[in-house]
Amino acid sequence: MTAPGLAAYAADESRSEGRRYEEPKTVYRGEYQRDRDRIIHSTAFRRLVYKTQVFVNHEGDLYRTRLTHSIEVAQIGRTVALALGLNEPLTEAICLAHDLGHTPFGHAGQDTLNECMREYGGFEHNLQSLRVVDFLEAKYADFPGLNLMFETREGILKHCSVRNARELGSIGERFLKRQQPGLEAQIANISDAIAYNNHDVDDGFRAGLITLDQLREQSLFGAQYDEVHERYPELEDRRLIYEIIRRMINTVVTDLIDQTRSNLDDVAPASIDEVRLADGPLVAMSKTVFDQHVSLKKFLNHYLYQHEKKLEMTAKVQSILKDLFARYMADVESMPTEFSSAAANKEEAVRARVVADYIAGMTDRFAIAEHERIAG
Ligand code: MG
C-alpha cells in the first residue's frame, strides 16, 4: 500500500531501507520530515549563510549565498514534487542538504581543495555533503552524523566516482550498476540548475557583469522580455528584470512538470525501484526548453564565472586555502581539538582527510580570518 496522496512511484518511508542506525518513530512527523528538520538544525546548514554561491559574501548584501540558493532550490523542488504526487518533505530535505559539503569560496574553493587532496583521494563536494550528514555533524548521543533515511542520502550523493562508490556500501551501488536515483532526487538535481540559472541572471545584472541587451539574445530571457516590455513599456530595469525572472522560472518549471508527467505516463513505473531501473532520468524538461536552459547556463558561465573579476578572486582564494592546508598538515594542533585529535599520529592520508573536512566546513570569512591569524 502506498501512503495516501503519494503516487506509486514516489518514495515511501514504509518501504524504505530506512536509517543506518534504527530509531523509534515519532508521533507527529514522518521520517522524511524528520530528515528535513535535522538538516535545518545542523551546524553545516547555518554556515551556508556565509558561504559563496557565485559572489563572495562580502561583495554585497543582496547577492545569493549558499543558504538563500538552497532555499530557492527547495521552493522550486517542492512545487514540482507536489504537482507530480511525489514525496514533498523528502524533496525538500534533499534540496536543503544538497550543498552542505561545499567549501568556502564557491567553485574556486572546491577546485583548490581538490588539488590539495590530489594524492589523498581528492575532494568531491557531493561526497562531502554525504560525509557531513553521515559523520561530521556531531549532535546526537546515539549515532554519528544526522542518521538520515536512505532516500535522502541517495539524493544528496548526486555524483560519485566509481572508486569512491565501491567504498560506500549500498548508497554507492547505483553508480556501479548505472541506475537512477528516485524521482525526488532527480527533482532536487534539476531544481538546483533552475534556481542558479535564474538567480545568477539577477545577481549578474546587479553586479554589472551582464547587460539587458546581452540577456535579450538568450531566447528564454528574450521571449519574456518582449512580453513584459510590450505590456509595461515604462518599467524601470530593476523591476523589469524581476518580472522577467519570475516568468522564466514559471515557464521552465511548468515545462518540467508537463514533460515529466508525460515521461511517467510512457514508462509507467510501478514503484521507486522501477524508477531506479529506467534507462535515464524521468524528471526532464522538453527538448526545446532544455536547449534554451543550457544556452543560458553557458552564457552565465562565460560572463559570470569566467569573468576576470572572479579570476582575480580565484587567485586569492587559492593562496588562502593552500596555505591553510599546508599549515594544518604540518601542525595538526593548530586545528580545534575535535579535528586535531582525529588527525594526531595518523598516517598522512587520514590526516589530509581530517584537514579537508575542517577546511571544507569553514565559512568564507572564517577562512580569511584564520589565514590572517596563521600568517601572523
Ligand atoms: Mg546548488
Concatenating the DSSP letter of every residue in 320-363 gives HHHHHHHHHHH-GGGS-HHHHHHHTT--HHHHHHHHHHHHHT--
Burial class of 178 by CB neighbour count within 10 A (0 to 12, 13 to 18, 19+): exposed
pTM of this structure:
0.95
Residue 44 located in a structural domain: yes
Residue 120 located in a structural domain: yes
- What pairs with residue 52 in β-bridges? 65
CA of 330 to the centre of ligand 1 (A): 33
CA of 237 to the centre of ligand 1 (A): 27
- Share above pLDDT 90 across residues of the chain, in percent, rounded to a whole number: 84
CA of 273 to the centre of ligand 1 (A): 26
CA of 49 to the centre of ligand 1 (A): 13
Residue 256 located in a structural domain: yes
Average pLDDT of every residue of the chain: 93
Confidence (pLDDT) at 59: 63
Q: How far apart are CA 325 and CA 354, in angstroms?
A: 10
**Cβ–Cβ under 8 Å, residues 5 and 267:** no
Task: Indicate which CATH number applies to the domain containing 186.
Answer: 1.10.3210.10
Confidence (pLDDT) at 56: 60
Confidence (pLDDT) at 145: 97
Residue 375 located in a structural domain: no
pLDDT per residue over 39-91, tens digit each? 999 999 999 998 877 766 556 666 788 999 999 999 999 999 999 999 999 99
Residue 101 located in a structural domain: yes
CA of 291 to the centre of ligand 1 (A): 20
Residue 76 located in a structural domain: yes
**Cβ–Cβ under 8 Å, residues 348 and 118:** no
**Cβ–Cβ under 8 Å, residues 149 and 19:** yes
**Cβ–Cβ under 8 Å, residues 120 and 348:** yes
Confidence (pLDDT) at 57: 55
CA of 99 to the centre of ligand 1 (A): 5
pLDDT per residue over 238-287, tens digit each? 999 999 999 999 999 999 999 999 999 999 999 999 999 999 999 999 99
Confidence (pLDDT) at 5: 82
Take residue 179 and report the three cell numbers written for it: 541506475
Average pLDDT over residues 126-150: 96
Compute the Cα dihedral for 22, 136, 350, 48 and give only its sign: positive
Q: How far apart are CA 235 and CA 228, in angstroms?
A: 9
* Between 313 and 156, residue with greater pLDDT: 156
Residue 144 located in a structural domain: yes
Confidence (pLDDT) at 290: 98
CA of 2 to the centre of ligand 1 (A): 31
Task: Give me the number of domains the chain comprises.
Answer: 1
**Structural domain span for residue 240:** 13-310
CA of 69 to the centre of ligand 1 (A): 7
2 band by pLDDT with thresholds 50, 70 and 90: low
Residue 232 located in a structural domain: yes
CA of 97 to the centre of ligand 1 (A): 9
* Between 61 and 176, residue with greater pLDDT: 176
**Phi and psi dihedrals of 144, rounded to 5?**
-80, 160
**Cβ–Cβ under 8 Å, residues 281 and 9:** no
CA of 104 to the centre of ligand 1 (A): 13
Burial class of 85 by CB neighbour count within 10 A (0 to 12, 13 to 18, 19+): middle
Confidence (pLDDT) at 278: 97
pLDDT per residue over 298-310, tens digit each? 999 898 877 766 6
